[in-house]
Amino acid sequence: MSRVECARKKGKVGMNRKWMFPVVAVFAILVTGCATTGGSSDIPKGFITKTMDVGGVSRAYVVYVPEDYTPAKEWPLVVFLHGMGERGSDGLIQSEVGIGTAIRRHEDWFPCIVVMPQCPKDKIWTSAFDHIDAAIQYAKADYRIDESQILLTGLSMGGFGTWAYGALHADTLAALMPVCGGGQEEDAPALAKVPIWAFHGAVDSVVSADESRSMVEAVKAAGGEVRYTEYPEVDHNSWDRAYGDADAIAWLLAQQK
């Protein structure tokens, strides 16, 4: 029972014309205030830690939301797959390497939603596709995503994940940006359906540059649109150069199905 109803029963409120207008005016203000709740100003911005359900298990992950985000328009979605060293369950460390670093340094380059799931410690991305699926679905539920601009990128283990997951979802992903990873050449016909820009260090001592070279050549042979940048004298950490390249980020965000 409302306070007004309680007062009415006790005889403390009389419905006379003297105060009818003030009550109506106050009610209108309250209703208007409720209508604005949930607007773009109420949506948390920046790096946000969230949780998602993956096969009945709660998993922490990070989402980056630009300061000018508004649900009044659709936004590109970038999915970032971290490397082996960032596996775990803290839900945070994967945002501190690779694309997360680039965003913190150049926020204006990233007018998009970026979702960063975390691979469990006992898995690699090629055995954790359900975590990628969940991250994408949760992002779609929480933000207004442009379905024609779902973009996938990752480094090292995440680079392998980008090639592999990209081959399975080439019909829905708008572009792939694998960094110092590798894949299966038999996936080339599927990968030829999606634009790709791959990156690698020429003297990578962890994942040989031959891994990227062979995938690039296989996709080209299958008729795909693929670009390749190899950094001379760069070892495994080619991601700082790749994600720190304004042209590469602009290319990624310009792709559309």
Residue ranges per domain, the chain? 3-36, 40-254
Band of residue 41 on the pLDDT scale cut at 50, 70, 90: confident
If one counts every other C-beta atom within 10 angstroms of the C-beta of residue 107, the result is 13
Band of residue 61 on the pLDDT scale cut at 50, 70, 90: very high
Band of residue 135 on the pLDDT scale cut at 50, 70, 90: very high
Which of 160, 159, 226, 161 is CA-nearest to residue 191? 226
Band of residue 40 on the pLDDT scale cut at 50, 70, 90: low
40-254: which CATH number, 3.40.50.1820, 3.40.50.12280, 3.40.50.1360, 3.20.20.70? 3.40.50.1820
Band of residue 52 on the pLDDT scale cut at 50, 70, 90: very high
With a cut of 80, say whether residue 223 has pLDDT above it: yes
How much is the pLDDT for 181?
A: 98
Nearest-angstrom CA–CA distance, 250 and 227: 14
Q: Are 110 and 66 in contact (CB under 8 A)?
A: yes
Query: What's the chain's average pLDDT?
Result: 88
Angle at 158 between CA 230 and CA 257, to 5 degrees: 80
Q: Which run of H or of E encompasses 196?
A: strand 196-201
Joined together, the tokens standing for residue 249 give: 């980020």
Beta bridge partners of 177: 153
With a cut of 50, say whether residue 33 has pLDDT above it: no
The arithmetic mean of pLDDT across residues 204-225, rounded, is 98
Nearest-angstrom CA–CA distance, 176 and 121: 24
The DSSP bridge pattern shows strands 113-116 and 196-201 to be unpaired
3-state secondary structure of 192: coil
User: pTM score, two decimals?
Assistant: 0.84
With a cut of 60, say whether residue 7 has pLDDT above it: no
How much is the pLDDT for 10?
A: 37
Mind listing the pLDDT tens digit for each residue in 166-185? 999 999 999 999 999 999 99
Residues 6 or more apart in contact with residue 78 via CB below 8 angstroms: 99, 110, 112, 113, 114, 115, 151, 152, 153, 252, 253
